[in-house]
Structure 1
Amino acid sequence: MSGKFDIYQTITDSIIAMMEEATGNCPLPWHRQGLTMPLNVESTNRYNGINVVMLWYYGQQCSQQLWGTYRQWANQGAQVKKGAKGVPIIFYKKVKRTEPNGAESFYPMAKASWVFNVDQVTGYEGEGIAPASPLPDTIGQADILDHAEAFIARTGAAIQHNDTFGLDRAFYNYADDYINMPCRHLFYGDQQQAREGYYAILLHELTHWTGHKARCNRGLFGKDKMDYAREELVAEFGAAFLSAQLNITQHPRSDHAEYLKSWIAILKNDKKALFRASKLAGEAVDYLTSLQSEERKAA
């Protein structure tokens, strides 16, 4: 008799396989152009947390990121194609329990669901997801993207640029609470790659910035290499979510392979690490998005 289905292990195994495929400079699923956040066909809400990563992974060859369960597609008048394989995602259901003192409480229980892409159904006549508009190709190294600059400015993060040898690298200084970035002219490649590389790295550091005790309070960075790697995974997911939100293409970092090695080690030892990292990344993105209010815009 087969063992009980474990959604945590199933998803973790999928992500480990994804990371093991992305050896050397091979990209991860979120390192590609025109990426959009996955949407549910019935609610039109965005998926969140690790479900985003799973749908990006399994939807790499799909025409758009529109998903739904078998029943949700049926409710739209569509039919899932025979033989189509669903993608497992996780959701949490509130379960009631009675405490020893007789009081009732609720706790979240992880449940699995399987969703199918719009490319896997027939008869769907609803609206699709508009593809991300290509960004203008202007001349210059790491030139400015106005919408990304506005988003970052509204966060209020202190950012300094440096081209001094030894300081010409990206990092978040927790003690003094600022982000250090290489000057724009230090980003190489073609025009688009230089520009988007700059913002992808800045969004990574901005995710670290949210971990300060005055903000999301993630207890940066811990005492050992594994704690550091866990926070780096949070920042990787955070930057991926933000890049999709801002229509910025991510590219593999120069230290891509080394980070993959440390992340795989974490995931193989802890099947829930992935879920914590994606949850914390989602909280970081929500925090940064909350700073984009009308009041903040007017300030």
Structure 2
Amino acid sequence: MFEVTLSRFFKKYDTLRDYSLLSLLLLLSLILMFYGDKNENNAGIHLIAFVMLDKINTPILALQQVLNTENENSLLKKENAFLQMQLSRLKEMEQENGRLRELLGFKSMQMYPMIPAKVIGYNRQAGISAIQLEISREAKIKKNMPVLSARGLVGKVLQVSGRYATCQLVTDRNFSAAARVQRSRVEAIYQAKEEEVGQLIGVHHRSDVLQGDVVVTSGMNSLFPVGLVLGVVTRIEKDERELFQKVYVKSAVEFAKLEEVLIVNTEDVL
């Protein structure tokens, strides 16, 4: 608002300045004509007049220059904001393409048909850990189908309604799966315990399990194919007086960054 007011002022001032200068020159001409050669200070009169005009005009021109600079800065800021927005959008597209390429590469190595789905919401209230998925209408999604990311097992389909499905996460307290320590082939049951951490149930205290071991699905039930990554062993608690050791597994999936997943059609083998 202030800039607009100043702009209007300067436009009016430019017009007024031109008229004032013309009027002053006419006045000086009349004075010179009146005095003729009798007045030896004609040059002095001219000089004084132009000095006065310059004194008035200089600060106004300086203010006008400041206003022009501010206008240019405002335009540059707008252009910069627009470019930043475009750059942000390009980065989002680049990251999405990277995730999709990773999923497609993972999908090409699997023997089961994979159905892509987009994560559109989370539900982690009252001990329930689930995500909402958007699927195509043509997708033949059924309850208990495994849900994967490129990093490992995300969970399983809990229910389907039209273009949407609910996925129970491996972090849900009611989730369990037949598991195996990949290195030593020790069998156990994976049971969710707390946020992104599960426990291997039934591991004998003499079984060969080490911190850093990768835990995968064993395929000993009909829900999950063999070899899906559940996570990595992060902590082991042993007590010689106890028959079983406590083995804790951190999920391989970064759930906070989950945006796309693959649903495994275990009914149709490629």
| TM-score between the two structures when normalised by the length of structure 2 | 0.19
The structure with the largest strand share of the pair is: 2
Find the structure with the greater CA-based Rg: 2
| TM-score between the two structures when normalised by the length of structure 1 | 0.17
Higher relative contact order (CA 8 A, sep 6+): 1
